[in-house]
Amino acid sequence: MDRAVAIDVSHLSKSYDGHPAVTDVSFQVYAGEIFGLLGPNGAGKSTILRTLITLLSPTSGHATIFGLDSLGDADRVRQVIGYVPQERAIDRFLTGREHLELLAALYHLPKEEARRRIAELLKLVELETHADRPAKTYSGGMKRKLDIACGLLPDPKVLFLDEPTLGLDVQSRLKIWDYVRLLKTRGMTVVMTTNYLDEADQLCDRLAIIDSGRIKTIGSPVELKVGLGGDIVSLTLKESDTARSLESALKGQPAIKAVRTTAKGLDIRVESPEKALPAILETANRLGCSVEFIQYNRPRLDDVFIAHTGRRIEEPAGDAP
């Protein structure tokens, strides 16, 4: 099935004063999908996003949105995109409705259409009752809803969300995920940045893992997890210094694909648990390592991240890649 390409990023790089933020990034987003940029803070996700919405110009490479170049056709790109920024980008003194009216004027909408859209949006994000109160009276969740309404006002073809559920409570997060899925059913393409593994896993059709300004891998959550090629057996060892010797003993064995030491013991990637588990336990016994706890997982996105970047998403990056 040939899917239309909504966004095409080609060898994009961005440096600030010689310091590279994003290096040689290439990917495509298909029309109508939810695409995620997953990575820790400082990975370069926001830089990529802001380049796509024409707020930054690339140092090299280019990006096109529905065929329009983000640099050369910036004005036309801005007509078809919506943006929900990371911070609560609202004016405390204006009411919710005034925010939408201001934006409607900036998108050059005729008054009647503006009125209609604003009414629809306020209903969609459930801000009707508060629409005419100043934004400073809004709770964090309401401000976020206003942000989303603002992003949707121009009825964009692509909606860009920068860390949409950062710092929100569980209920608000689930609500926002529902909105995003609803937008997808309406045919909107959604590009979002996130540092939440569960968000990337559950919401995104496809995602790119970004670390230290580079793309490490791209694919759907399922593809990426299957691509790891195997399930994970996690051992918690009684004495963690025995981990090293157990690691070397296990490494060569046929059922074992990879071994990694963790704070508590070992993470072992195996082909099939029926063959691997007995081998692991036998080796541990032979070396006299006491195994306190065994856990067996299908691969999680967490494991995908570790596999491609060498560390957990919460851990800070090492020096230059």
Partner 1 sequence: MMQYWQEINALTMRWVRRLSREKFSMLFTLVQPMLFWLIFFGNLFQRAADTQVTQAPNYISFLAAGVVVMTVLNNGLAGGVDLLFDKENGFLERLMSTPIHRTSVILSRFIFVMTITSLQVLVILGVAFLFGVHPATGLLGIAAILLIGMMFGVGLTAISMAMAFSVKSHGDFFSVLGFLSLPMIFLSSALVPLSAMPGWMSVLAKFNPMTWAIDAVRPLILSSWSEALPHVAMVAIVMIVFDGLCLYGGAKAFRRAMG
253/255 Cα distance (integer angstroms) = 6
Distances (CA, A) of 212 to 43, 61, 278, 309, 318: 5, 18, 39, 9, 9
Indicate the helix (H) or strand (E) that contains 171.
helix 170-185
Minimum CB–partner distance for residue 38 and partner 1 (Å): 22
Which residue number, 49 or 280, has a Cβ lying nearer to partner 1? 49
48/35 Cα distance (integer angstroms) = 13
Which residue number, 72 or 229, has a Cβ lying nearer to partner 1? 72
Which residue number, 55 or 294, has a Cβ lying nearer to partner 1? 55
103/106 Cα distance (integer angstroms) = 5
Which spans of this chain sit near partner 1 (rule: CB under 8 A)?
Answer: 50, 53-57, 75-76, 78-79, 81, 83, 85-91, 93-94, 98, 101-103, 105-108, 134, 150, 154
Which residue number, 20 or 134, has a Cβ lying nearer to partner 1? 134
* DSSP string over 211-278: ETTEEEEEE-HHHHHHHT-SEEEEEEESSGGGHHHHHHHHHT-TTEEEEEE-SSEEEEEES-HHHHHH
Which residue number, 168 or 258, has a Cβ lying nearer to partner 1? 168
271/274 Cα distance (integer angstroms) = 9
